[in-house]
Structure 1
Amino acid sequence: MVLKPPMEPMLAQARETVPSAGVLPGNLAFEAKFDGYRCLLFTPARRGGPTLLQSRRGSLIQRHFPDLVTAARQLPHGLVLDGEVVVWSQDQLSFEALQRRASAGGRTVAQLADAMPAHFIAFDVLQIDGQELLAEPYERRRAALEGLFRERGLSPPWTLCPMTTDPAVAQEWLTSWTEVPGVEGLVIKGMGQRYLPGARGWFKVRRRDTTEAIIGGITGTLRRPQILVLGRYDEDGRLRAVGRTTPLKPDAAVRLADHLHPAGPDHPWTGVRFTATWGSREPLDPILVVPDLVAEVSADTAIDRGAWRHPLRFVRPRLDVTVADVPMFGEGVQPSSG
């Protein structure tokens, strides 16, 4: 069987902690998890055919990344790679720059490719020389991927995803590497695992830290809040939305209810439109509350233009601090102040 798009990539299920040995087939392998666009790359079976880039949802996106298509001439025919497309901007990975690349059209595409070149971080090979490898264990696929990089002398924009089988090294990556913007955590695989398109057979662990934000709105009711809409003040004194929480547990909702008060018409978010999730158009109609209550939340490292892309987890109300103690808008995840 020759693989071709559209094809579902294998997925990972989220976990809070690094799993122990035995939960997946074979010994565990730990890969660095990058904050980019999941992408399958297909080189043509023969000279003259097109190189295709497929998004996680099955869309063909190669027209947005002509620099990767040109660089794919270094790759052998009949190759399928699984990986992450990322963009470097100002010496760090930038999800905002990647979004611009992925949505550009016309002459802007080439201009952005020159100014913000894309890189492909390969973590799996699904087909090589026209022979599909889905039934091969991850250990053999990884060896084939490493051999491809070694034999072809691949260099940027092609990057081999870092991998280790040492849990201590993986824990160090989770602690230190995630200080770098664009590195989220770990993906954990079994060395004996087959590649199962569409299945959530891997695990992913994101680094999470506690920080504070101001409760500016809620969904539900004042007596039984469901989701918190959070903000931080910027340098101009404006309260800027930075994210929303996952649904509150009943006991947390009860703890908050006595401290929430309906806002008047002078609330800084009066007239502001909110969406239900990051990147969606589904409207969210929160009840605005007096922005004087601080929440401690658990957040991952995926931040875009000062806001968290993934839902935050409410930890507790911070009745011992004021809004003046909350980090400023754009400061990202900061250690909890107590």
Structure 2
Amino acid sequence: MSHETHRSLEKDGRRIILRRTEDGVICYSRTGRAVTSHWMDLAVPAIQLPAGTTLDGEAVIWNGDRMDFGAVQTRAASSLGRARALAARLPASFVAFDVLAHPEHGGDMLAARPYTERRAALVEVLADVGPPLQAVLATSDRSTALSGTKALQPQGVEVIVAKPAGSAYPFGSRTVWRKIRHADTTDAQVVGSVGPRRPRRLALRPAGEGRLRLSAPLGPDRRTPGRRPHDS
């Protein structure tokens, strides 16, 4: 197994597994729920992929020159009719992190191959598709990754994910992948919480801002958000 590490720049969006079947395209949420109807602007261009292709990535929405996490969350939580209206105003893009299956690259066995092989397959698979489907930026050079994430922070890139070059896709676990998050702090007033039984997110009013923001999902201790307040 190679000890080389590849690093990719993660964007601020919603995790989606996109699968091209014989009949069409299905988008799955992180929990395995079908969410295709809310992301038809991604499903339609994915028809160009051959049947049997499965991609792992994030749906992101550009609002001007920055990715809008709030717009992603709003669409995901909207009714079908409102989701379609939002898609017409702010269409989504799909940033692919990985390819788990492809008929010309070993079918469903592709996920067990080293990351470097999957990365090469991913770039090849998406080369002729183009936006709004695209491969995440990645490099094996540490300094390039660090300088890249710093340069792209104004656009909403906040995390580097380091993946061992020889690692298989970690279904159900990320123990072999390491997230390196840009650290920053902002003072904010907690004005409420979201969650039917216990707080799952905090409603925050950052200092100097008028609008509210939601934190990332709270950790098991219910105290520490997984994302900086001003990134939500």
- TM class by shorter chain equals 0.7 to 0.9
Aligned partner of 1:260 in structure 2 is none
Instruction: For structure 2, list consecutive stretches of 5 or more residues without a partner in the other structure.
Output: 200-210, 218-223
Kindly indicate which of the two structures has a greater share of residues assigned to helix.
Answer: 2
Superposed CA RMSD = 2.4
> Which of 100, 115, 124 is matched with 1:147 structurally?
124
Aligned partner of 2:203 in structure 1 is none
Instruction: For structure 1, list consecutive stretches of 5 or more residues without a partner in the other structure.
Output: 1-23, 214-229, 232-240, 242-271, 285-303, 314-329, 334-338
Post-superposition CA distance 1:84-108 (Å, at most 9, x none): 1111123321111111211222432
Answer whether contact 1:26 1:193 (CA < 8 A) is retained: no
Amino acid at match of 1:172: S
Specify the SS of the correspondent of 2:52: coil
Aligned partner of 1:253 in structure 2 is none
Aligned partner of 1:20 in structure 2 is none
Amino acid at match of 2:216: R
Q: Does 1:74 align with 2:74?
A: no
Once residues 122 and 32 of structure 2 are traced to their aligned partners in structure 1, the CA distance between those partners, rounded to angstroms, is 23
Alignment of 1:1-40 (within 5 A): 26-40=3-17
Would the alpha carbon gap of residues 142 and 106 (structure 1) be closer, same or farther in structure 2, given more than 3 Å must change?
closer
Amino acid at match of 1:43: R
Answer whether contact 1:64 1:103 (CA < 8 A) is retained: no
Q: Does 1:163 align with 2:78?
A: no
Q: TM-score, normalised by structure 1?
A: 0.57
Q: Could you tell me how far 1:171 is from its partner in structure 2? A: 1.4
Specify the SS of the correspondent of 1:31: strand
Post-superposition CA distance 1:286-335 (Å, at most 9, x none): xxxxxxxxxxxxxxxxxx9445436369xxxxxxxxxxxxxxxx9x48xx
Once residues 145 and 190 of structure 1 are traced to their aligned partners in structure 2, the CA distance between those partners, rounded to angstroms, is 16
Aligned partner of 2:33 in structure 1 is 59
Once residues 12 and 72 of structure 2 are traced to their aligned partners in structure 1, the CA distance between those partners, rounded to angstroms, is 10
Would the alpha carbon gap of residues 312 and 199 (structure 1) be closer, same or farther in structure 2, given more than 3 Å must change?
closer
Q: Could you tell me how far 1:145 is from its partner in structure 2? A: 0.7
Alignment of 1:88-127 (within 5 A): 88-127=62-101
Would the alpha carbon gap of residues 106 and 37 (structure 1) be closer, same or farther in structure 2, given more than 3 Å must change?
closer
Answer whether contact 1:178 1:185 (CA < 8 A) is retained: no
> Which of 4, 14, 18 is matched with 1:41 structurally?
18
Amino acid at match of 2:140: T
Once residues 43 and 283 of structure 1 are traced to their aligned partners in structure 2, the CA distance between those partners, rounded to angstroms, is 37
Once residues 176 and 282 of structure 1 are traced to their aligned partners in structure 2, the CA distance between those partners, rounded to angstroms, is 40
Aligned partner of 2:111 in structure 1 is 134
Would the alpha carbon gap of residues 312 and 83 (structure 1) be closer, same or farther in structure 2, given more than 3 Å must change?
closer
Amino acid at match of 1:31: S
Amino acid at match of 1:63: S
Q: Could you tell me how far 1:140 is from its partner in structure 2? A: 0.5
Would the alpha carbon gap of residues 312 and 145 (structure 1) be closer, same or farther in structure 2, given more than 3 Å must change?
closer
Aligned-residue identity in percent: 33
Aligned partner of 1:204 in structure 2 is 179
Aligned length in residues: 208
Specify the structure having the higher radius of gyration (Cα). Answer: 1
Once residues 25 and 84 of structure 1 are traced to their aligned partners in structure 2, the CA distance between those partners, rounded to angstroms, is 27
